[in-house]
Every structure is written in C-alpha cells, then in structure tokens.
C-alpha cells in the first residue's frame, strides 16, 4: 500500500480509506475554449459562453454551444470528422488533450468512466446524419466508440445519473481505484444542447429567455449549455505533480421526496455533505469554498440555501458556474469540479456570474467579484431529477505545512 505524507495517514480513522485518490490532470472543451487553462482565464475575466441562439421553431433562447467548425478543425487532427457524432468528437478530443498534456499512457490497468445524461440522444432526431444507425443513440455504443478509439482494455463504465453524473463519476472513479479494479481511471463527461433537451425543459417551464441568475431574487430559470470535460484519477502517488488534488470524501444521498422537485428541506443534500465530510475526516469549518449547483430555478436554489443553512455553511464563499457555461447536464459536475481545482491551484475565487440581489431564504456568501484568496479545501455539490444529490470534497495534495 502506497501512502503519501506520514502525517496524513494518522488522520485517517476509517479502516478502508488508507488508499488516497488524486486528480492529476484535467481538460475542458467548451464554448469558452478547448483546454482547462483558457477556460479558467475566461472565467477570471467574467466571460460567459452563453448567448442568444435560435431553436428549430425560430424561438430565441439563451444557451452555450461548442462551435461545430472549430470542433471539426481541432478533431480532424486525430480522426475523421464524418465518422463521429459531435458528442463523440468532443469526448475523444478531451481525452486526447488529456493524454498529450500529461504524457499518460493508457494500460490494461486504466479504467474508462463516461458520464452523460443523454449521450447521443440527438441521433433519434430524423434530421441527424446518424439517424439510420439505430444503435448510435444507445449509451453502450458511445462507450464502445471511446473505448476502441483509445484501446482501453475493458468496457467503459457508463454512468447516467441525471445532473449529478459528473460529480458522481469522480466518486465512482475513486471507488473503482480503491477496490483495485484499476490503478488509474480516465473520466470523461459530455452532453449536448439538443432539441430533445430544450423541448423537455421548456415543457417544464424551466428555461430562461435571459442569462441565468443563480440565487438571485429575479432568477428566471436555466440556460442549457454543452461541455466535455475529462480528468485523470490515480491512486499512484508516484504520478502526482504540484497541481494534483486529493479527493478526500464523497457521497450521494437521495431525497426520497419527489422525482422532479427538489426536497423542500434539502435533506438529501444535507446527508450527502455530512457523509462526504465524515469520510474526508474534516470539520465543516475547514471548507474554504463551495462550488454549488445553482441552476437558477426557483426551487433548486432555494433548496440549496436551506441545506447550507442547516449545515451552517452560509458564510463560506460559494458560487454557481451556470452563468458561464449554462447547465451542462451530465458534464456540469465535472467541469465545475475542474474549475474548483483550478481555483485551489491558483488560490482564486471565481465570481458567481449573474448574481445581483439575494433571492433565497438563507442568504449565501455568494462570490461577487473574482478575488485571490488562500484556498486548501473545497466542496462540490450537485442535485438532480430523481431526487439525487452528490457531494465531493477536494483538497490540495501538497499541503505538507
């Protein structure tokens, strides 16, 4: 069993948590840029990927889409653009960038986890060039495409757990490594802005026609966005670098309340955060920053405020990144975790774009301006349809004090 610094092993009380798990590299493909670094720079400048776009029926909506031509130009360096769906291209390019950036070699001991809520569901649309390929909309097909492209030995672990998928995937990766199923895991996430999704959320009266305003009094609902994100997760301390981040605790708890409406008491989120904090063996006071879900719907944001109030976390600096990316569904938890990781590494809190006046019961410490601040530990949360909630705690790996 390899362990990191001596002083850390002392702190661990749970018997099975001796193996520490880390994120060593990350990548993002989004409307703001095709790598993590440029994404973070844009966020520091409060640049949003959201803009007015047109639906098929001519209606205008606010969303964030990856430019098709830009994607094809970048992808043509690694594959044939017509052979892959847009989502596949985004995911493949993300993994390629991860490999190039890290010099990481995929071995038979490398697992692949794919996080997505709807995958290639746009292939069900008769106008899709892949409409006739009946198997394309199936998630195992997406898994196979990614697995074969990079010659992963095993079938992909495809995780589809609504809007918590991206955060849950980090938790799943840690668990697979702790069980010694794999030495390292590559996690990739992605979802698209499709008519399927837009029509559905519109029928839910959840789509805003303006830029979203998480936690604000006058919030009017969500914007949908598309992003692919990827990370390398390892239990091998020899692979760490100065920017590696430890995943110290994670948990998912269901509200057991309603399939689409979040719990009014925030019960599932409270339980998730408590369980993750317990596993991380930290005090709630040690959380320096919270990267919350903040979809800007009336009920979600209120539920989070209730949960944070119950836990005494309303003073911790908090943001929602939906104002930059929109709600990127199965990718949101992963891309937002990556931005949180960069926040730790650059000791920089990113402003919660779109916030003006408090609009939740327990006023939160929303980050209004991007600022530098020493950071060690952050909490990422997400909540979604089906009553699911996930919390993950991240900590700098090199805090040898």
Interface positions with other proteins (CB under 8 A): 14-17, 56-57, 117-119, 121, 124-126, 137-140, 143-144, 154-155, 157-162, 168, 172, 175-176, 178-179, 181, 195-196, 199-205, 251-261, 267-268, 271, 275, 279, 384-388
Cβ closest to other proteins, residue 161 vs residue 208:
161
Query: Dihedral sign, CA of 197, 252, 115, 190?
Result: positive
**Shortest Cβ distance from residue 141 to other proteins (Å)?**
9
Q: Do strands 371-372 and 348-349 pair parallel, antiparallel, or not at all (unpaired)?
A: antiparallel
**Shortest Cβ distance from residue 95 to other proteins (Å)?**
19
**Shortest Cβ distance from residue 293 to other proteins (Å)?**
16
Helix (H, G, I), strand (E, B) or coil at 164: helix
Cβ closest to other proteins, residue 49 vs residue 235:
235
C-alpha–C-alpha distance, residues 93 and 86, integer Å: 11
C-alpha–C-alpha distance, residues 302 and 191, integer Å: 26
**Shortest Cβ distance from residue 172 to other proteins (Å)?**
7
**Shortest Cβ distance from residue 39 to other proteins (Å)?**
27
Taking alpha carbons only, the member of 333, 299, 75, 89 closest to residue 205 is 299
**Shortest Cβ distance from residue 24 to other proteins (Å)?**
21
Cβ closest to other proteins, residue 253 vs residue 379:
253
Q: Where are the alpha helices (DSSP H) in 260-398?
A: 267-280, 298-311, 322-325, 332-346
Residue 349 burial (CB < 10 Å; 0-12/13-18/19+)?
Answer: buried
**Shortest Cβ distance from residue 291 to other proteins (Å)?**
21
Taking alpha carbons only, the member of 116, 111, 36 closest to residue 341 is 36
- Which residues pair with residue 392 across a beta bridge? 250, 380
State the distance between the two ends of the chain, measured CA to CA, in whole angstroms.
Answer: 24
Cβ closest to other proteins, residue 33 vs residue 384:
384
Cβ closest to other proteins, residue 157 vs residue 313:
157
Cβ closest to other proteins, residue 146 vs residue 353:
146
Q: Helix, strand, coil proportions of the chain in percent (round to 5)?
A: 35, 20, 40
Cβ closest to other proteins, residue 108 vs residue 140:
140
Burial readout 33-62 (b: 16 or more C-beta within 10 A, e: otherwise)? bbbbeebbebbeeeebbbeebeeeeeeebb
The distance of Cα 299 from the centroid of its chain, to the nearest Å, equals 21
**Shortest Cβ distance from residue 331 to other proteins (Å)?**
15
Cβ closest to other proteins, residue 157 vs residue 187:
157
């Amino acid at each position: 069993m390899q362990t990191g610094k001596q002083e850390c092993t002392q702190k661990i009380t749970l018997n099975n948590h001796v193996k520490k798990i880390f994120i060593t590299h990350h990548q993002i493909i989004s409307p703001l840029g095709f790598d993590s670094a440029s994404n973070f720079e844009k966020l520091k400048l409060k640049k949003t990927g959201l803009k007015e776009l047109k639906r098929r029926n001519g209606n205008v909506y606010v969303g964030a889409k990856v430019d098709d031509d830009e994607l094809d130009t970048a992808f043509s360096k690694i594959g044939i653009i017509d052979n892959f769906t847009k989502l596949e291209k985004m995911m493949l390019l993300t993994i390629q960038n991860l490999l190039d950036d890290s010099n990481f070699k995929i071995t038979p001991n490398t697992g692949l986890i794919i996080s997505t809520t709807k995958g290639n569901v746009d292939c069900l649309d008769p106008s899709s060039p892949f409409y006739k390929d009946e198997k394309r909309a199936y998630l195992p097909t997406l898994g196979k495409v990614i697995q074969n492209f990079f010659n992963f030995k095993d079938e992909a672990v495809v995780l589809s757990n609504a809007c918590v998928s991206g955060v849950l995937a980090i938790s799943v990766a840690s668990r697979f490594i702790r069980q010694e199923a794999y030495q390292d895991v590559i996690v990739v996430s992605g979802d698209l802005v499709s008519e399927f999704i837009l029509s559905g959320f519109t029928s839910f009266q959840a789509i805003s026609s303006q830029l979203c305003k998480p936690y604000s009094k006058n919030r009017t609902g969500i914007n949908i966005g598309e992003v692919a994100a990827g990370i390398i997760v390892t239990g091998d301390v020899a692979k760490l670098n100065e920017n590696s981040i430890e995943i110290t605790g994670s948990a998912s708890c269901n509200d057991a309340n309603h399939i689409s409406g979040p719990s009014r008491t925030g019960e599932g989120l409270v339980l998730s955060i408590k369980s993750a904090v317990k596993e991380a063996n930290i005090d709630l006071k040690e959380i320096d920053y919270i990267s919350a879900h903040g979809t800007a719907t009336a009920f979600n944001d209120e539920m989070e405020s209730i949960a944070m109030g119950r836990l005494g976390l309303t003073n911790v600096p908090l943001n929602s990144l939906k104002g930059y990316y929109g709600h990127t569904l199965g990718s949101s938890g992963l891309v937002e975790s990556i931005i949180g990781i960069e926040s730790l590494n650059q000791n920089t809190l990113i402003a919660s774009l779109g916030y003006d006046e408090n609009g939740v019961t327990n006023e939160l410490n929303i980050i209004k301006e991007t600022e530098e601040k020493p950071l060690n530990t952050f909490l990422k949360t997400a909540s979604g349809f089906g009553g699911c909630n996930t919390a993950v705690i991240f900590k700098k790996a090199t805090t040898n004090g």
